């Protein structure tokens, strides 16, 4: 995902001298080529994320499109006040890039586990929140946030995420990507856990369920029309995210369903329970510890949905 984002930024920078990339003293292995090709469009703000965000807003208000770059919670929670008061409040053209959403940097501990970011940033006014599911979506999402006016948050993995989409995709901000339709269950996934959702769907189909799969890459503005459609056509909606169950994709979907009149689908929210991730390990290990594997998803769906 990270490599795809940088590749797209290089292509955009070639034709737009007003595109700027500002790093918080990280990412040298992947940013070196960009910095060498576009030295006047690249800045290292140092380990000073609040200053990095303020600097980005100042440049944005002077006509630049500015991408800020750091890992985990550093470009978001560490400088939340600057994102809120400086970027969002002024509708500044600042694009916040987080490398390492969820448990990507799992072995570095809780300080690097980005598991509350979607909920916190989604709560801010005037911000677009996007978490693509694979490298194909990442390329499209990078271009989309570049073209979207105002402040955007782009949440990515670190690298090595498997490609799920084998062909071209229809990527539109605020509209989910329909991978499969199903009349029993609809799985809505956001972020780099899309491959788990895809594998769980295949396993559930073998058991006899008709399972739809949708990549909900945009958490804000969320695809309300799709959620309302599914709530009226399937028996169970499942949200899957490498993020706390409070306030992220599951919370956003629950808000829509709760305000709908009449009978509607049941909802199963799969994510990190309300706790700190005190366990340390790689991403796959932490997914197994906190119930985010293919087997966990299938077990949760099976417990909620009994075929007639």
pLDDT reported for residue 209: 96
> What total of structural domains would you count in the chain?
2
Pair 189, 147 in one domain: no
Do 141 and 201 sit in the same domain of this protein? Answer: no
Average pLDDT over residues 181-191: 97
The confidence band for 203, taking pLDDT boundaries of 50, 70 and 90, is: very high
Residue positions counted in the chain: 308
Cα–chain center distance at 173: 12
What confidence score (pLDDT) does residue 278 get? 87
CB 210 within 8 A of CB 305: no
Q: Do 133 and 60 belong to one domain?
A: yes
Per-residue pLDDT at 169: 96
| Nearest to 67, CA basis, from 96, 37, 104, 31 | 96
Whether 135 shows a pLDDT value over 90: the answer reads yes
State residue 275 phi and psi, 5-degree precision: -160, 165
In the predicted model, is pLDDT for residue 218 greater than 60?
yes
Structure tokens at 152: 């955007």
Short-list 244, 218, 213, CA closest to 131: 218
> Which one-letter DSSP state was computed for residue 161?
P
For residues 203 and 140, state if they share a domain: no
Contact criterion met (CB below 8 Å) for 206 and 156:
no
Q: Kindly state the helix (H) or strand (E) to which residue 5 belongs, with its residue range.
A: helix 2-15
Are 136 and 260 in a shared domain? no
- 181 and 271 both lie in a single domain: yes
Residue 83 DSSP label: I
276 and 188 within one domain: yes
* pLDDT tens digits for range 232-289: 999 999 999 999 999 999 999 999 999 999 999 999 999 999 999 889 999 999 999 9
What band does 308 get if pLDDT is binned at 50, 70 and 90?
low
At residue 28, the pLDDT reads: 83
**For the residues 26-37, what does the mean pLDDT come to?**
92
Q: What's the CATH code of the domain at 236?
A: 3.40.50.920
Q: What's the CATH code of the domain at 12?
A: 3.40.50.970
Dihedral of the alpha carbons of 82, 120, 198, 135, in degrees to the nearest 10: 0
305 — pLDDT class (breaks 50, 70, 90): confident
Residue 230: is its pLDDT beyond 60? yes
Residue 166 lies in a domain: no
User: Residue 21: inside a domain, yes or no?
Assistant: yes
- Cα separation, 32 vs 227, in Å, equals 41
129 and 208 housed in the same domain:
no
Q: Which domain range does residue 95 map to?
A: 2-156
- What span, in angstroms and rounded, lies between the C-alpha atoms of 51 and 73? 15
Instruction: Indicate if 149 and 12 belong to the same structural domain.
Output: yes
Cβ neighbours of residue 78 closer than 8 Å, sequence gap 6 or more:
49, 50
Computed over every residue of the chain, the mean pLDDT equals 96
- Tracing tokens 């009349």 back to the chain, one arrives at 183
pLDDT surpassing 70 at residue 307: no
* Mean pLDDT across 124-133: 98
Report if residue 48 sits inside a domain: yes
What pLDDT score does 108 carry?
94
Q: Give mean pLDDT, residues 57-83.
A: 97
Residue 28 domain-assigned (yes or no): yes
Looking at the fold, whether 190 and 230 belong to one and the same domain comes out as yes
Q: Are residues 252 and 152 in the same domain?
A: no
């Amino acid at each position: 995902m990270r490599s795809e984002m940088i590749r797209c930024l290089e292509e955009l920078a070639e034709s737009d001298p007003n595109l700027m990339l500002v790093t918080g003293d990280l990412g040298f292995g992947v940013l070196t080529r960009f910095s060498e090709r576009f030295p006047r469009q690249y800045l290292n703000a140092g380990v000073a994320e609040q200053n990095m965000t303020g600097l980005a807003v100042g440049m944005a208000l002077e006509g630049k499109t500015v991408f800020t770059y750091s890992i985990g919670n550093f470009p978001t929670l560490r400088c939340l006040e600057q994102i809120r008061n400086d970027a969002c409040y002024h509708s500044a053209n600042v694009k916040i890039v987080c490398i390492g959403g969820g448990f990507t940097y799992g072995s570095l501990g809780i300080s690097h586990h980005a598991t509350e970011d979607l909920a916190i940033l989604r709560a801010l006014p005037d911000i677009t929140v996007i978490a693509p599911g694979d490298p194909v979506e990442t390329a499209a999402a990078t271009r989309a946030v570049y073209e979207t006016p105002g402040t955007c948050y782009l949440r990515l993995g670190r690298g090595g995420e498997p490609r799920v989409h084998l062909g071209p995709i229809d990527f539109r901000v605020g509209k989910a990507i329909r991978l499969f339709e199903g009349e029993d269950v609809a799985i809505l996934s956001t972020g780099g856990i899309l491959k788990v959702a895809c594998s769980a769907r295949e396993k559930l189909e073998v058991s006899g369920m008709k399972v739809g799969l949708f990549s909900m890459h945009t958490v804000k503005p969320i695809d309300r029309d799709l959620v309302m459609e599914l709530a009226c056509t399937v028996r169970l909606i499942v949200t899957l995210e490498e993020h706390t169950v409070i306030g992220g994709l599951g919370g956003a979907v629950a808000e829509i369903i709760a305000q709908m009149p009449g009978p509607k689908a049941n909802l199963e929210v799969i994510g990190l329970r309300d706790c700190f991730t005190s366990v340390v390990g790689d991403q796959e290990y932490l997914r197994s510890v906190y119930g985010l594997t293919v087997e966990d998803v299938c077990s949760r769906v099976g417990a909620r949905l009994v075929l007639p």
